[in-house]
Structure 1
Amino acid sequence: MDTPYKSAQQQSRLPGHFATAEMISPACDAGQGQAGTFVSAAVALPAAPDRAILRISALGLYRAFINGVRVGNDLLTPGWTCYDARIAYQTYDVTHMLRPGDNRLEIWLGDGWYRSQILWASNPIYNCWGEHIGAIAALEVNGLPLLVTDGSWKSGFTPVSRNGIYYGEDYDARITPCADSAVDVIAFDKVLLVPHEVDPVKEFEPRAPVAEWRDADGRRIYDFGQNAGAYIRLRTQGAAGASLRIEHAEILGPNEEFDNRNYRSARAELRYVLAGDGEEVYAPLFSFMGFRYARITLEGDVERLSVEMVPISSVPVAAGGITTGIPAVNRLVENTVWSQRSNFIEIPTDCPQRDERLGWTGDAQVFAGTACWLADSERFLIKFLRDVMHDQRENGAVPHFSPDPTRLHPIDERGDWAGSTGWGDAIVIIPWQLYLHYGNREALAECFPAMLKWLDYLWSISDGPIIRPPAVWGDHGFTFGDWLQPVGDNRKPRPTVADDCAATLYHFISTELSSRIAGILGDAAQASRLEARAEEIRRAFVREYFSPSGRIAHNDQTSWALAFLHDLVPAEYHEAGKAYFRRVVEETDGVIGTGFIGTPALLPALTRLNMLDLAEKVFLNRKVPGWLYQVDRGATSIWERWDAIAEDGSIYDPDMNSYNHYAYGAVCQWLFEDVAGIKPLAEAAGFQRVELDPAILPKLSPVKAWHEVRQGRIEVEWELAGDQVSYRVDLPEGVEARFKVSPARRDVVIDGASVSAGGDVALSAGKHVIAFRI
C-alpha cells in the first residue's frame, strides 16, 4: 500500500515509478470553459501481466480509460484540495484490463474546481489554481514501468464540449476522440502529490422518478422524491445532431412551476447531442448538481427512453440512525442524512447547487459531532482540516471557507475572508469531535499549533478577553455572529445576541477546549497557560454581560444556551438565569430564536437544565422557525433558512436560499447524545466508555438508536408507559458504560437488581435492561 499522508514536506518520494512521470497538458487545450481535451499513449505487451498498477493524478479532473474501458468507478478524481499545497493521486489495480498486444491509456480532462468558476457572479474567480489542466500517470506491469506520462504522448478533443462545477456539462456524442495534437510538459512540483486522503466519491443506487408531467411549453418535468447531490443518467435514441437539455431545481414554485432561481449564476445544466447510432447512455463526467427536480427539453428527432437520478457522496455508508414515535422527526433525521451526503463530496460544503458549494468552516464546526454520528467522517474531516490549516493566515485568522479561493485572489472590497468567530473555531472544535468519536489523538496534535495561532488572533482583535468585532465586513475581527438568527415580527423583533457577546463566548469555548487538548497532548505548560487565559475570559464575560440580578445582557436564546452549556453562568446567578432563560423560550411559544451558532446549543442547554418540557415543545414545534415546519412543507433535506418557503408556498428571496444545507441538522447530535442518551466521554475517547443518560421526552416514545463504532455496534432503545421507562442497551465488546442514576429516576432496576439513587452504575459489554420511573 502507498504510505498514508503526513505532510507534503514529508512525502519524500513517490511509490514505484510514479516519480519518473511528468505532468503533461494537451497542446490543443484552449483554456477554461473551452472544448474538453485528453492525453493518450499506446504500448504493446508480449503477454498478459501478472500484476499491473496505475497511479494517476491531474490538474483539474480526470477520467481514465484503458482500451476504451473506464478505470475504476471513483468520481471527480483526483478530488478537491488546496492544490498549491497538495494534490491527491489514486492507485488502481488494472491487471484485468490489459491484454497481450497493443494497449491504449487515455486520460480525459475536465476543468473541475481547479479552473472553472468559483464564487458567485459578483466576484467570480476563474483559473483559481492555474490556467493549464494536465495529467500525470505511471502504469507499471510486474513491477516495471510500462508507460509514464512524458512529452511523447498525444492529445486531442473529447466529446465533452464544455464543463464546469457550476456550469454543468455539454457533451457531443458525435465527436470521436482523435489524438492528433502534441502535449506540453509543464512545470510541476511532484512533492505536492499525496495518496488520496479520503474515501473516493461514489454513486448510490439510482432513483427513478416518483412523478412526471409536462409544463405549459411541453417540457417534461421529473420529481425524484429526494433533494440530493447527484446527477442525471439518461438513456436516449434518435438522429445524429438531435439533443436534450437537462435543467435542475430543488423546489417548485407556489403553482408547481419549475424554479431554480436560487442557483444564481450556476447554470447547472446538462446538454447532450446524440451520435445517432442506436441507444445511447449518458451521465456527466466532470460535474454534479444539487436537485430534486429535472426538466428535460427535447430538440430534434430524439426519444427519451429512461431517466434516473444518481446520488453521489464521499460518505455513502451510514454509521448511525435514530427513530422515534413521530414520523416527522424520523423524516428530519433522514433529511439530515441526505444533506450530509449531498454536501460531503470531497469537502464539507454549505450547499451542492448554487454558485457557492464552498467549505464554510462555521457550518462544518457546528455539524461535526452530528457528522460523526451519522457517517464515518474521520478521514474526511481530517483532510478538510489540512486544507483549513493551509489557508490559515499568517496572523492566525482561520478562513471562512476552505479550500479558499480568496487567499490567492483577494476580493478587495470585502477585505480578508478569514477570522470570524464561530467559523474559525472549526480548527479547535472539529479535532475535538474527532478525538471524542475516534480517539484520534494525532488529529489533536496535528492541529494544535494552528489552534494556538487562532487563539492569539482572537486575543489580538481587541487586545483582551472581550472581543469587540468591527461592523464592517472584512475588517480585522469581523464576525458573522449568530448567522440568520430569527427576530420574529419586525414590528416588535425579539432580542438577538450581539456580535461582541457571540465572539467572546466562542473566545472562551475555544480557549477552554484548547487547554484540555494541551493536557491530553501532555503539554502541561500550554495547558496551564490556556486554563488561566480561559479563566480570565470567564471573569471578564461575567463582568461585561451579567447584571446584578443575574440577567445576561441581550437576554436571547443564543446567549443563554451557549452560556449555560459552557458553564459561563456564575453559580450565584444560576437560578435567576434559569428563570430568565425559561421565560425567553416560553415567550416565543416554542418558536426557535437561534441561528447557526445558537441552534446546536439550544436543546442541549435546556436538557442539561432539566427543562425537558421546553426542549420537547421547541423541538416538536411545527411553526416557523422550527425543524418540523420544513418537514411539513415537504422538505427532503435541511434548509439554509428557517423561512425558506412561507406557509402560502411563496419562496424567500432566492439570492440566498438553499434547500440542502446541513447546519440546522446539527440537532441530531442532541437526539443521539441526550434523547437516546449515548454520550461519548473524553476520558475514554473513541467509545471505550460511554455515559448513558437518556432524556425522556414523552411524546417521542418509543426511541431507538444505533451507532457503529470501531468496536462494533451500540444499540439503545427506550419506551415510556405511564411513568415507567424501559431502557434497553446493547454494548459491543470493548465498550463499557456508566448509567446515570439521578434523583429524577425512581425505583431503578438494572438487569433485575434494584439500584439506589445518587450514583452511577457501571455496565459491561452485552445486553442490559434498565427500568425506572419518572
Structure 2
Amino acid sequence: MKITHLRTNHMTNPLGFELDRLTLSWITESGNSQSVSQAAAQVVIAIDEEFNDILFDSGKLQEIDSLGYNPEIEMKARTRYYWRVKVWGDAGDEATSDTAWFETAKMDELWEGKWITPDLDKETHPLIRKTITLPDNIVSARAYICGVGLYDVEINGKRVGDEYFAPGYNAYDFWLQYQTYDITSILDSGDNAIGFMLGNGWYKGRFGFDGGYHELYGNEFAVIAEIIVTLKDGSEVTISTDQDWKCALSPITFSGIYDGEVYDANQESKGWTISNFDDIAWGSVSLTKVKTESFQARRSLPVKIMEERKPIEIIYTPAGETVLDMGQVMTGWVRFKTNAAKGTKLQLQYGEILQNDCFYRDNLRTAKAEYTYISDGSEREVQPHFTFYGFRYVKLTGFEGEINIHDFTGCVMYSDIDETGTIETSNPLVNQLFRNALWGQKGNFLDVPTDCPQRDERMGWTGDAQVFAATACYNMYSPAFYQKYMFDLREEQKKIGGSVPFTVPTVKPKDDNGFIGGHGSAAWGDAATVIPWTLYLHYGDKELLRQQFDTMKDWVDYIRRVDEESGGKRLWQEGFHFGDWLAQDGPDPQSPMGGTDSYYIASAYYCYSAQLVAKAAAVLGKNEIAEEYAKLADEIKQAIKNEYFTPNGRSAIHTQTAMIVALYMDLIPESFRPRVVEDLKEKLRTDKMHLKTGFVGTPYFCKVLSENGANEAAYTLLLNDDFPSWLYAVKLGATTIWERWNSVLSDGTISGTGMNSLNHYAYGSISEWMYQHMCGIKPAEDVPGFRKINLSPKPYGKLQFAKATLQSASGSIESGWEIKEDGALTFTFLVPFHTTAEVILPDALLETIKVNDRELVNSRFAAKQEGRYVKCGLMAGKYVFDYMPTASYILTYSTNNSLSDLLNNEETKKIFEEELPEVAGNPIVQGPFAEKTLREIVKIPLFSRFAPSEKLDKLDKRLELVRQ
C-alpha cells in the first residue's frame, strides 16, 4: 500500500490559510498489496518534523475516514504542524505516509503593522520600500502582507513567491485577506531591503457592469505588512509598516483589469529593493485606514502561471498587422524578450479571434486589453504585473526588424488547482469538445469562477458557477477553490436576508438596497444549494456541507418568504429571473430570454433547492429540519403539478427545458414520467433532433435522456455538428466553449459584439454527462466521495470507444468501453482501494460474460441478471469484461442492418430509396450483396460513388428517427 495526496482542508501543505476547522484527508493506493480496503488508521500530529513532540495521536481506529478526518486540536498562531497517517489493510499489511504540514497565520494576534499609503496623487502607482537590519542566527522568517488594489513584494532584489494578483478578489468591504510568505531563504543577517509595488486591480480600478465603475471599494493605494524573524535563541524581531517607510513613482504608469498595463522602464528606480539603494530623494507615506468588516488569513488559492505555451505561428495580416497565434484561447499574458532601443514603445493587444484574417477585438466591448512597454534600451524579459487577458491572438506593434517567435511565451494563469479527469473517444471532435470545456475552466477559474476572462466583465456569475460545478469537480480538484467562493457568497447573502447576488462578489458601488447588480434570481441564486451539495457528492467530506448549511437553508427560506408574501401558493412567481438564459426558443431572436416561463423555472428550483436542503440536513443529522424541508418540497411539487401539468401528465409549457427540469428535478409524480419522457422525445423530433435549450436546460438535457431510455437521442445531441450544437463550434475551430451557440457564424464572422464571449464555460457542462453516462463514472449519494461508485457506461455505435480516468477523492478510477469489429463489447474498469463499485453492463446475458478471462457466473463476484442489464458488485482492482451484446451498439439501421432488412420494412425501404436510389435500385446489390450491411456494400468500387459520407449521414439521421 502507498499513501498519497495528503491534504489539509483540501490543500497541500497550506501556509497561512484560514483554518476554520481542521480537516485532514488522504488517498491510499493498493499497489502490490493484497488488501482492498482499510481496516484501521492512525493520525499523528506533532510540532516538529521528527515527531518527538507529539500534539495529537488518534490511536489505531477503524472509524477514521480518509475523505475527511477532523482531529480536535488547539492551534496556536504562526505555528507549523506536521502530520502523517498510518493505514492498516484488511489483509494485515500496513503503510505509513510521508510527512505533511500546515502552518497557521496570525489568527487572533493584534497587528503591529499599520496601513500606509503613499503621499502621491491617488492615481499614481507607487513603489514603497524600507531598509532593515537583522542580527545573525536567523532560523525562520515570515511575511504577513496585504495590499490594495493588488501588490507584488520584493526582498533583496528577488520577487517573493510565485503567485499573482494578491490579495485576490473578494468582497473587500466585508472581509479582506492577507497572505503569508516564507522568506527565510531571502533574508540575510545585516542590511536587507523590502519593497512593495501596487496596482489598481478590482479594488480601485475600473470594474463592473456597463463598462465598469472606478473606486468600487476605495480610492487610494495602501499596504500593511509584518515581517517576523525568529532567531536561534527563540527571540523574534518584527518589522512593520509605519510612517518611516518611503515611496516613489512606479514604472507602472497605468494598470487595470480590463484595459491592461503601461510600463515605462525609463522610470525605474534601479535596485530599489537592494539594501544599499539611496532613497534619500524618495517621498513619505501616511497612515491610513482600509474599510473592511473582517481582516483575516487568506482563503484564496494562489493564482499562478500554471502552464506555458509557445506561439504556433506569426501571422502577417492583410491589414499589415503582425499577430501571434497561440493556438489556444487562454487566460494570462505573453512574456517576451526585448533589446529595443531606448524610448521604443512596444505594444501587445489581445483578442480571441481573427476576422477577415485580421486582428479583431470588438467583442471585448470597452476593454482595451493591451500592454505597453517603453524600453530603456536594456535587454530583458518583460511581462505585466497587475492585469490579465483572455486571448488567442496577440497583435504586436513597435517591434522592429525580424521577429523571432521563440522570444514569446504564453503564460497560462489560473488558481493553483490540480487536473483530475480525462476523457478520450474515437471521435477527434468529441475529444476537442472535452478539451474546450477544460480550457474554459482553466481560463475562468482565476480566484473567482468568472463568466469570461476577456471583455469588460469577468465577474463571478452565480448561474454559470452552479451549472458547471459538477463538471468542474470531475475536471479539477475544486473544493478549496469553491469554499472561498462560497464564503464570499455567504458574506454577501447575510446582508440581504438570505438572497444571493447575481454575481459573487457583487459589484459595487451600492444602490439604496446595497447592490447594483441585483439579486434573487432562480438558477443563479441556487448556487447557494447546488454547489455545497455537489462538493459533498464528489469529495465526501461532511465539513464541506456543514460549513455551508446555513447558506443553503437561508436561500430556501428567502424564497419561502417571497412565496408567503405573495399568497403562499408554494410557487415562486415574483421578481426578475434570467430563466433559460440564451435559449434558442425565445419569442424574440434578439432577446437573451428563452421560451420557457421564468416563473416555472423559478418554482422548479424552489422545489429542487428545498430537496437539497432536506438531503443536507439528513446527512448532518438535523432530522427535524430534514423533515421540514422534505415536506416543503412535496408541497411545491404538488403546486407545480396543479399549475403546470394536465391531469394526464402533459406539460402545459411545451418546451424542451420545461420537460427536462421536470424530469431532472423530480417535479412530477412517478405516474407522469412516461408521458413527459415521450413528449420530450417527440418535441426533440419536432425540433429535428437539435437542442433549443439555454443555461438552465442544457446542463441536464443529455442526462435526462440517458436516464430515461433515450440514450441514442443524447448521443445525437452530442454528435450533431450543425447549429445549434456543441460540435458546431468545434468544427469552426473553437478551442474553448462559447457564450452563445452561434457566437461565430458558419462563415467565420462573429455574430455580434454586445454579449459574445468565446470563453464562457457554462455549456461545457456536457462534460459531466460524458463522465457519468458516456463513460459511466458517477458518485453515489448514499456513500459519496466515490467511496461507492456507480459504473454504468453507455456505449454507442457511432463511437468505437470511450474512456475516462478520474483521480477522485477516493483514488484513481477508470472506466472505458470499446466496440470490437465483430460487435463484441469490452469494458475496462479500475476501482480504487477502500471503495466498492456497482457495475451495470447493458444488453448483456450473464452466462455469456467473461471478467478477466473467466466466466462471470463462475467467478467470486456477485452478479445478477436484471432485464437487459447485468449488475455486478466489485471491490478494489482492475477488471476487463467481454461479451457479445444482445442488442447492437451500432444504433443506426444503415450501419448495422443488412440491405434485405432495410428493404423488408416499408418505412425504411421508402427512406432508403429516397436517399440512395442508385444503390437501392441496383439489381446486383439486391442479389449477392443483399445480406451485407450498407457500409459494407458502399466499400465496393462499383457503388461507392453513389453513397458519399454526407448522403449516408443524412440517411442515418432519418432512419434513427424511425427507430426512436
Instruction: Please state if 1:768 is matched with 2:879.
Output: yes
Q: Partners in 1 of 2:552 and 2:136 — Cα distance? A: 55
The aligned counterpart of 1:231 is 333
Distance 1:573 1:709, change over 3 A: closer
Larger CA deviation: 749-758 vs 627-636: 749-758
Instruction: Please state if 1:481 is matched with 2:579.
Output: yes
Distance 1:304 1:186, change over 3 A: farther
Q: Partners in 2 of 1:115 and 1:651 — Cα distance? A: 33
Among 516, 524, 534, the alignment partner of 1:423 is 524
Instruction: Please state if 1:265 is matched with 2:366.
Output: yes
Q: Partners in 2 of 1:193 and 1:103 — Cα distance? A: 28
1:590-609 paired onto structure 2 within 5 Å: 590-609=689-708
Say which SS state the counterpart of residue 213 (structure 2) adopts. Answer: coil
- Deviation track 1:337-370 (CA, whole Å, cap 9, x = no partner) reads 1110110000100000011100000000000000
- Deviation track 1:100-130 (CA, whole Å, cap 9, x = no partner) reads 33210001111111111111445x3211111
Post-superposition offset of 1:707: 0.7
Amino acid at match of 1:757: Q
Unaligned runs of 5+ in 1: 471-476
The aligned counterpart of 1:290 is 390
Among 708, 712, 718, the alignment partner of 1:613 is 712
Amino acid at match of 1:766: G
Post-superposition offset of 1:712: 2.3
| 2:113–2:226 Cα contact (<8 Å) kept | no
Among 118, 125, 133, the alignment partner of 2:213 is 125
Larger CA deviation: 283-292 vs 231-240: 231-240
Q: Partners in 2 of 1:741 and 1:729 — Cα distance? A: 12
The aligned counterpart of 1:640 is 739
Say which SS state the counterpart of residue 77 (structure 1) adopts. Answer: coil
Among 253, 259, 278, the alignment partner of 1:161 is 253
The aligned counterpart of 2:482 is 381
| 2:173–2:291 Cα contact (<8 Å) kept | no
| 1:154–1:181 Cα contact (<8 Å) kept | yes
The aligned counterpart of 2:119 is 28
Q: Partners in 2 of 1:100 and 1:424 — Cα distance? A: 54
Say which SS state the counterpart of residue 386 (structure 2) adopts. Answer: coil
Q: Partners in 2 of 1:568 and 1:742 — Cα distance? A: 28
Q: Partners in 2 of 1:343 and 1:410 — Cα distance? A: 28
Amino acid at match of 1:555: H
Distance 1:748 1:510, change over 3 A: farther
Instruction: Please state if 1:739 is matched with 2:839.
Output: yes
Which structure is larger by alpha-carbon Rg, 1 or 2?
2
| 2:864–2:871 Cα contact (<8 Å) kept | no
Post-superposition offset of 1:25: 3.1
| 2:507–2:516 Cα contact (<8 Å) kept | no
Q: Partners in 1 of 2:476 and 2:560 — Cα distance? A: 35
Amino acid at match of 1:503: A
1:82-481 paired onto structure 2 within 5 Å: 82-121=171-210, 124-142=212-230, 144-177=236-269, 179=279, 180-188=282-290, 192-216=294-318, 218-253=320-355, 255-277=356-378, 279-298=379-398, 306-392=407-493, 393-406=495-508, 408-410=509-511, 417-463=518-564, 464-469=568-573, 477-481=575-579
Say which SS state the counterpart of residue 440 (structure 2) adopts. Answer: helix
The aligned counterpart of 2:729 is 630
Distance 1:490 1:499, change over 3 A: closer
Q: Partners in 2 of 1:488 and 1:190 — Cα distance? A: 43
Q: Partners in 2 of 1:414 and 1:62 — Cα distance? A: 27
Distance 1:4 1:25, change over 3 A: closer
Q: Partners in 2 of 1:217 and 1:653 — Cα distance? A: 22
Q: TM-score, length-normalised on structure 1?
A: 0.93
Q: Partners in 1 of 2:823 and 2:658 — Cα distance? A: 34
Post-superposition offset of 1:749: 4.0
Q: Partners in 2 of 1:106 and 1:302 — Cα distance? A: 37
Q: Partners in 2 of 1:163 and 1:669 — Cα distance? A: 38
Larger CA deviation: 745-754 vs 62-71: 745-754
Say which SS state the counterpart of residue 593 (structure 1) adopts. Answer: coil
| 1:238–1:301 Cα contact (<8 Å) kept | no
The aligned counterpart of 2:864 is 756
The aligned counterpart of 1:699 is 798
Among 711, 714, 727, the alignment partner of 2:827 is 727
Q: Partners in 2 of 1:63 and 1:368 — Cα distance? A: 31
Q: Partners in 2 of 1:767 and 1:301 — Cα distance? A: 58
Instruction: Please state if 1:686 is matched with 2:700.
Output: no
Among 582, 605, 616, the alignment partner of 1:517 is 616
| 2:125–2:254 Cα contact (<8 Å) kept | yes
| 1:200–1:314 Cα contact (<8 Å) kept | yes
1:523-672 paired onto structure 2 within 5 Å: 523-672=622-771
Larger CA deviation: 540-549 vs 158-167: 540-549
Distance 1:270 1:686, change over 3 A: same
- Deviation track 1:379-408 (CA, whole Å, cap 9, x = no partner) reads 0001100111111143321111111124x4
Higher RCO, 1 or 2 (CA under 8 Å, sep at least 6)?
Answer: 1
Say which SS state the counterpart of residue 682 (structure 1) adopts. Answer: coil
The aligned counterpart of 1:474 is none
Distance 1:148 1:304, change over 3 A: farther
Post-superposition offset of 1:748: 4.1
Say which SS state the counterpart of residue 652 (structure 1) adopts. Answer: coil
Q: TM-score, length-normalised on structure 2?
A: 0.75
Q: Partners in 1 of 2:584 and 2:326 — Cα distance? A: 31
Distance 1:121 1:30, change over 3 A: farther
| 1:469–1:478 Cα contact (<8 Å) kept | no
Amino acid at match of 2:336: L
Distance 1:88 1:12, change over 3 A: farther
Larger CA deviation: 391-400 vs 240-249: 391-400
| 1:251–1:293 Cα contact (<8 Å) kept | yes
Post-superposition offset of 1:454: 1.2
Larger CA deviation: 106-115 vs 562-571: 562-571
Amino acid at match of 2:786: F
Q: Partners in 1 of 2:874 and 2:400 — Cα distance? A: 70
Q: Partners in 2 of 1:632 and 1:489 — Cα distance? A: 28
- Deviation track 1:645-683 (CA, whole Å, cap 9, x = no partner) reads 111222111110000001000111111111111110121
| 2:580–2:693 Cα contact (<8 Å) kept | yes
Distance 1:62 1:21, change over 3 A: farther
The aligned counterpart of 1:712 is 811
- Deviation track 1:594-649 (CA, whole Å, cap 9, x = no partner) reads 10011011000000011111111111000111000000010000000001011122
- Deviation track 1:232-290 (CA, whole Å, cap 9, x = no partner) reads 1111112211111111100111x11211111111111100000112x122100000000
Distance 1:673 1:162, change over 3 A: same
| 2:572–2:606 Cα contact (<8 Å) kept | no
Distance 1:681 1:598, change over 3 A: same
- Deviation track 1:24-80 (CA, whole Å, cap 9, x = no partner) reads 33323422xx33112111112343633222222212111110111111111111111
| 1:638–1:664 Cα contact (<8 Å) kept | yes
Identity among equivalent pairs (%): 33
Distance 1:495 1:154, change over 3 A: closer
Q: Partners in 2 of 1:206 and 1:492 — Cα distance? A: 39
Distance 1:301 1:73, change over 3 A: same
Q: Partners in 1 of 2:18 and 2:831 — Cα distance? A: 32
- The RMSD of aligned alpha carbons is 2.7
Unaligned runs of 5+ in 2: 1-14, 22-73, 79-104, 273-278, 858-862, 888-964
Post-superposition offset of 1:302: 11
- Deviation track 1:186-228 (CA, whole Å, cap 9, x = no partner) reads 1257983333223311113322211112235533111100001
| 2:722–2:728 Cα contact (<8 Å) kept | yes
Say which SS state the counterpart of residue 339 (structure 1) adopts. Answer: helix
Q: Partners in 1 of 2:217 and 2:516 — Cα distance? A: 20
Q: Partners in 1 of 2:710 and 2:703 — Cα distance? A: 10
| 1:243–1:300 Cα contact (<8 Å) kept | no
